[in-house]
Structure formats: C-alpha cells, structure tokens
Amino acid sequence: MMERNITVEVKEENMKTAESVFCNCESEFKSIMEKETGKIMETKLTMSEYSLEEENKNIIGGIFLRSSDGVIVCDNSLDSRVSLIFEQLLPTIRG
C-alpha cells in the first residue's frame, strides 16, 4: 500500500494491543516506504478512533488499513487470511 496517509482500524477489544506496537509500526512503515520508493516521503499512520465498519465487526482479529480518501482498503484480518489459504488449498482438498 503505497499511500502517504494510512488509517489503521482494529477491533475495539484489540485497540490497547495495537496502540502498544503502533510507534514501532509507524517507523517501520516509513522505512519501507523510503526503501521501496527510493525517496524520503512524509508518511503518516493514524489509529482510527472509531470502531470497525458494521460488516467487519465480527472478524476474529487482525487489522484493516485504509487510505485517507477511503478508496483503498487492505484487509489483513485473520478471516481474510484463512479464506485465502482455503482457496489455495482447494485443489489439494478436492484431490
């Protein structure tokens, strides 16, 4: 996600854990952006003060990253990861 301003969204019960690692994540995000673009970019991560959207409230855990305009959403929830693995394993399961 090559955006300058990203909002991090987590489940309400995971907010304290996310806040405890947030500073490290922000600095790592900045270094990855600089490495990938070759430029020093002003980037900003923000913890969302709001709860997840209604359709995402029942996730097991994980995070959502949202661009500042809300157009780009990166679903990094455990639910989406399990679904992705399930899709990848379907040929094996069928066999």
Question: What's the pLDDT tens digit per position in 52-92?
Answer: 777 787 888 888 998 988 899 999 999 999 999 999 999 99
Question: What's the pLDDT tens digit per position in 40-63?
Answer: 878 888 888 776 777 787 888 888
d(CA 39, CA 63): 27
Inter-residue contact 79 to 60 (CB < 8 Å): yes
d(CA 78, CA 52): 14
pLDDT score at 87:
93
Residue 36 confidence class, pLDDT cut points 50, 70, 90: confident
Inter-residue contact 3 to 72 (CB < 8 Å): yes
Backbone angles phi, psi at 6, to 5 degrees: -120, 135
Domain of residue 83, CATH code: 3.30.2320.30
d(CA 5, CA 11): 20
pTM for the model stands at 0.74
Residue 37 confidence class, pLDDT cut points 50, 70, 90: confident
Owning domain of residue 55: 5-94
pLDDT score at 39:
84
Q: In the chain, how many domains are there? A: 1
